[in-house]
Structure 1
Amino acid sequence: MAITSANQLELLQTAEAVAREKMIDPGLVVEAMEESLARAAKSRYGAEMDIRVSIDRRTGRATFTRVRTVVEDEELENYQAELTVEQAKQYLDDPKVGDQYIEEIPPVELGRIAAQSAKQVILQKVREAERDKQYEEFKDRAGTIINALVKREEYGNVIVDVGAGEAVLRRNEKIGRESYRPGDRIRCYIKDVRREQRGPQIFLSRTAPEFMAELFKMEVPEIYEGIIEIKAVARDPGSRAKIGVVSYDGSIDPVGACVGMRGSRVQAVVNELQGEKIDIIPWNEDMPTFLVNALQPAEVSKVVLDEDAERIEVVVPEEQLSLAIGRRGQNVRLASQLTGLDIDIMTEEEESKRRQAEFEERTKLFMDTLDLDEFFAQLLVSEGFTNLEEVAYVEQDELLVIDGVDEGTAQELQARARDVLDEQNRVALEKARELGVEDSLVNFEGLTPAMVLALAEDGVKTLEDFATCADWELAGGWTTVNGERVKDDGVLEKFDVSLEEAQDMVMTARVLLGWVDPDDLMPEAAAEDGGEEPSEEEQAPA
């Protein structure tokens, strides 16, 4: 069948019908038809030719043209689609490289195979247009709640109809043992929208903490209006959850607003989450105070926060321990997720035993190294002295406040402490040199002989070795693995070297070696000159 023998308007009518059915732009369908006809023409005239088809959007008339491009003589490769400047002179006036010679050619006869191929091209283009439309529709809806219709279940994953396509609710994103039948209405959180080879993939969730936050936003007008903000959410899906809220209006109680009259607002969220119990907690900028609130209903006696390690110690009465931990550790786990801190819970008795052990250990240290009797060593520990360095280099006035210590005694204590430290440093340096440590590292400012020995035992023996270290390798840190925080031990961690101090020493070493330009480490000067201060990423060592 020749294209000219068909009703030319039929092409446009078909394109409009397909576009209406698939809810896409008719122009995309016409473009697909043009490409399919061009492919059919190439199979008739030759695949090497550059054949293009243009369908008039008003009349439906299809025009077939052959395009040949003018190229340099040495670049001529395809004789069917390219021309040299000399060859083009017989068709064009004053041809130049890049010009095109376009000639109309007779329309082709569409045989059965060509027609089938054209149909496949059109279907493929229409399918791609549908996918693009679906992706464009949902890419900005990630992070919102959607109502969907269950279509089927595949290997525990629920496939739902979202209007313009399908989305998937994976089995690990369902609450507990939820099961759905085809036709059920379901409310989900759009967790992610990805453009993949097989089309856009929309991933839903009912276990995400954000799902609960969005539900509260729908039920509590104050949250939607921004008067109340949800600062943190922690969930054990289907069982229990904790949510931290803060009010920016002193006259509105954030907890009461979220609970609602007779619990109506929170109950609506609980019903949607299959009876999940929700603790609504007032947010506090002071993390220990917020944690005490988060551990309710357990009573807390004492809180000790270690900001560097992002850990917090909580001391509770013996009878409150099981309540603070919760069934299968649920309460403390949710409180940890809510605050973003690792929580160590201990009873008052356990804390007392630990402190007693530390007291005895420090007492023995002073007795053995400074040749003191037990009573005098205990006095030092009671005044807050924890190591020999503090005794040796503290201001003498701080020793004189101890009962029974006069100026002569203080001088003797400091002399003994310094002698012990000098001997320890001498032994440490000898061992370090035996391990092959170079003077460049020994003389590096900021490293004590004990630190140099620790580095040598870890294989760091030169200033170059030291300069290649990362700050966390020296000071220690924390890494999240499979959702659990894992401790990374640092070589110099036992010397109380912070991450900032470790970073400063490493950068200083790199400057001394000429690896880093010192001007790059002066953001304050640049700021004073009107420049912008580098970001943390720019200041961080490579």
Structure 2
Amino acid sequence: MAITSANQLELLQTAEAVAREKMIDPGLVVEAMEESLARAAKSRYGAEMDIRVSIDRRTGRATFTRVRTVVDEDELENYQAEVTPAQAAELVKPVRPAVSVTAAKRTVELEGEEPRNETFRRFALKVQGQGSDQIDQSALPGIGDEIVDEVPPVELGRIAAQSAKQVILQKVREAERDRQYDEFKDRAGTIINGVVKREEYGNVIVDVGRGEAILRRNEKIGREAYRPQDRIRCYIKDVRRETRGPQIFLSRTAPEFMAELFKMEVPEIYDGIIEIKAVARDPGSRAKIAVISYDSGIDPVGACVGMRGSRVQAVVNELQGEKIDIIPWNEDVPTFLVNALQPAEVSKVVLDEEAERIEVVVPDEQLSLAIGRRGQNVRLASQLTGLDIDIMTEEEESKRRQAEFEDRTKLFMDTLDLDEFFAQLLVSEGFTNLEEVAYVELDELLVIDGVDEDTANELQARARDVLEEQARKALERAREMGVEDSLVNFEGLTPQMLEALAEDGIKSLEDFATCADWELAGGWTSVDGQRVKDDGLLEKFEVGLEEAQNLVMTARVLLGWVDPTELEPEATEDDDTESASEEAEEE
């Protein structure tokens, strides 16, 4: 089939029909046709040639042109698509009236010849004269210019036509994918209604209007089963552009799905009067949602429950009967945790903010209720608060406190040469270690029954003697292990700290300066979704993360690794303005 023998308007009509069907720009379809015809022409004229096709958007006429780029003679590689300046000058002589030269914004052709392609007509530059010696030398093609001449249309055989069809289909699919991605990329994080098309290996393919989405089996609630043509409501979890096209991933187990459902059912949430602060779910079984009201006249829990539970019941029905606990949010973490562990009663809460852990003490008969079936209740409370929760009974907590009391009593008896009764008095008053006894204000010792000023002074003297002896022995052991004077003389490290560092191979100031702050102070990391404790070298000496960072940076400054001026915060423009205002006021 020759392209010239076909109805030229048929190309444009076909492009418009395909564009309407796929809901894409007709220009993209025309560009796909141009590329497919160019490929067919290359198979006819040679794959190394640069053949281009331009379809007139008004008449449908297809123009086939051969393009040759002017390159330096040393860079000439493709003799079919590249020419040297000398060859280019020969090609634009008057004997070649159909040849034109295109640069960035120009086309050079002979007098009397209008460029046939409208793309070139815009940049036409007439050359006066009839002979090659009369051509304006400045208009001759230079390095980087393109020489364009028209070639006869090709005959599209069966194979070429099939290849052209595949190119057009591929381009149309790419355009359709781009359109689908642009439509759904901004809808991530919202709820969408769709129709089930089919199920593949447990994954549900959902028709969402102008595309398909996938609901993976691990994103379904429990043992949900769907049949074709079933209507389904899902949360758009992610929209990604992949090689095979945009992938729309749906979810019915995401906590955000429940939050969006409540936003649809509770007008106060939609209006921003009530805010959902946290959601924790065990999909298909139980969930906890924390809400707060910014209007003192509106109860957040009651608004979410609705009249006779109508609002929360609508969400429960959508989630296949998932039980939902609606909890009032509180900025005070222990109070919020007590609410989150409902319906269990909590006797005591101990929060460790640095370790992001919290200890909860419950009555013996409330332990199973607080933990929940298979640990569900405490697990959801942990997700809701973002803290690791340790639950113990009052009996277990009492035993632990008794053990700590006995250990501290024994410490004071052995080190301070006290009898059991006096040592217990110290522990009862809250003293936990020798440092507190040695360096506490004298008045705090005098409040203990039976302790006068002489006794208090004697207690502190004994404690300081013990601490000094311990420090001396620790320093001796550290030096025996090879600790250098540069580290010994470094301010901020005690002999016991030096000993602990030496046991880990840190024996010089350079070694210490290479440490990370978390290596010294310890911390928590997540491994396979579980929080794992990293013990710090100086953690037992109560060295925090900020203190460890300051020690390491000080060591680096002393070694010249860090410029101290870089550590000083730069004065902001606001600070400068305030300083200038203060100076003006003083004047």
Partner SS for 2:223: coil
Partner of 1:83: 83
Question: How far is 1:207 from its partner?
Answer: 0.6
Q: For 1:520 and 1:240, how far apart are their aligned partners in 2?
A: 52
1:480 to 522, 526, 529: 526
1:242-262 deviations in Å (ceiling 9; x for gaps) = 000001111111101100111
Partner SS for 1:89: helix
1:416 to 462, 474, 480: 462
Question: How far is 1:528 from its partner?
Answer: 7.1
1:195 paired to 2:235:
no
1:298-341 deviations in Å (ceiling 9; x for gaps) = 11111111100111111111121111111111111111110001
Partner of 1:155: 201
Residues 166-315 of structure 1 mapped to structure 2, 5 A cutoff: 166-315=212-361
1:20-51 deviations in Å (ceiling 9; x for gaps) = 11111111110000001111111111222211
Partner SS for 1:42: helix
Partner of 2:382: 336
1:15 paired to 2:15:
yes
1:482-537 deviations in Å (ceiling 9; x for gaps) = 22211111111111111111111111122222222212212265677559xxxxxx
Partner of 2:415: 369
1:443 paired to 2:489:
yes
Question: How far is 1:168 from its partner?
Answer: 1.1
1:103-140 deviations in Å (ceiling 9; x for gaps) = 11111111111111111100110111111111111111
Partner SS for 2:187: coil
Question: How far is 1:155 from its partner?
Answer: 1.5
Moved more, 198-207 or 157-166: 157-166
Partner SS for 1:168: strand
1:186-237 deviations in Å (ceiling 9; x for gaps) = 1111111111111111111111100000000000011011110000000011
Q: For 2:441 and 2:152, how far apart are their aligned partners in 1?
A: 103
2:164 to 118, 121, 125: 118
Q: For 2:516 and 2:194, how far apart are their aligned partners in 1?
A: 49
1:509 paired to 2:548:
no
Q: For 1:106 and 1:177, how far apart are their aligned partners in 2?
A: 65
Q: For 2:253 and 2:563, how far apart are their aligned partners in 1?
A: 50
Aligned residue identity for 2:558: L
1:133 to 161, 164, 179: 179
Moved more, 75-84 or 258-267: 75-84
Q: For 2:159 and 2:375, how far apart are their aligned partners in 1?
A: 68
Partner SS for 1:40: helix
Question: How far is 1:8 from its partner?
Answer: 0.5
The TM-score with structure 1 as length reference comes to 0.95
Partner SS for 2:392: strand
1:387 to 433, 442, 463: 433
1:53 paired to 2:99:
no
Q: For 2:448 and 2:363, how far apart are their aligned partners in 1?
A: 34
Q: For 1:107 and 1:50, how far apart are their aligned partners in 2?
A: 14
Partner of 1:351: 397
Moved more, 230-239 or 82-91: 82-91
Q: For 1:28 and 1:407, how far apart are their aligned partners in 2?
A: 95
Query: Across the two proteins, how many residue pairs are aligned to each other?
Result: 531
Question: How far is 1:82 from its partner?
Answer: 2.0
2:537 to 472, 491, 497: 491
Partner SS for 1:52: strand
Q: Given the superposition, is the C-alpha separation of residues 255 and 501 from structure 1 closer, same or farther in structure 2, using an over 3 Å criterion?
A: same
Partner of 1:72: 72
Aligned residue identity for 2:19: A
Partner of 1:397: 443
Q: For 2:575 and 2:142, how far apart are their aligned partners in 1?
A: 54
1:454 paired to 2:500:
yes
Q: For 2:17 and 2:43, how far apart are their aligned partners in 1?
A: 28
Partner of 2:566: 520
Aligned residue identity for 1:140: D
Question: How far is 1:376 from its partner?
Answer: 1.4
Partner of 1:29: 29
Partner SS for 1:508: helix
Q: For 2:419 and 2:566, how far apart are their aligned partners in 1?
A: 54
1:389-411 deviations in Å (ceiling 9; x for gaps) = 11122222222222222222222
Q: Given the superposition, is the C-alpha separation of residues 377 and 437 from structure 1 closer, same or farther in structure 2, using an over 3 Å criterion?
A: same
1:273-298 deviations in Å (ceiling 9; x for gaps) = 00000000010111111111111111
Q: For 1:504 and 1:276, how far apart are their aligned partners in 2?
A: 50
Partner of 1:94: 140
Q: Given the superposition, is the C-alpha separation of residues 149 and 197 from structure 1 closer, same or farther in structure 2, using an over 3 Å criterion?
A: same
Q: For 2:287 and 2:576, how far apart are their aligned partners in 1?
A: 48
- Structure number with bigger Rg: 2
Moved more, 214-223 or 319-328: 319-328
The TM-score with structure 2 as length reference comes to 0.88
Aligned residue identity for 2:32: A
Aligned residue identity for 1:87: Q
Moved more, 400-409 or 32-41: 400-409
Query: What 5-or-longer segments of structure 2 have no aligned partner?
Result: 93-107, 109-138, 578-587
Q: For 1:235 and 1:32, how far apart are their aligned partners in 2?
A: 49
Cα RMSD after superposing both structures: 1.5
Question: How far is 1:470 from its partner?
Answer: 1.7
1:407 paired to 2:453:
yes
Partner of 1:538: none
Aligned residue identity for 1:21: E
Question: How far is 1:96 from its partner?
Answer: 2.5
Q: For 1:85 and 1:380, how far apart are their aligned partners in 2?
A: 100
Q: For 2:505 and 2:227, how far apart are their aligned partners in 1?
A: 62
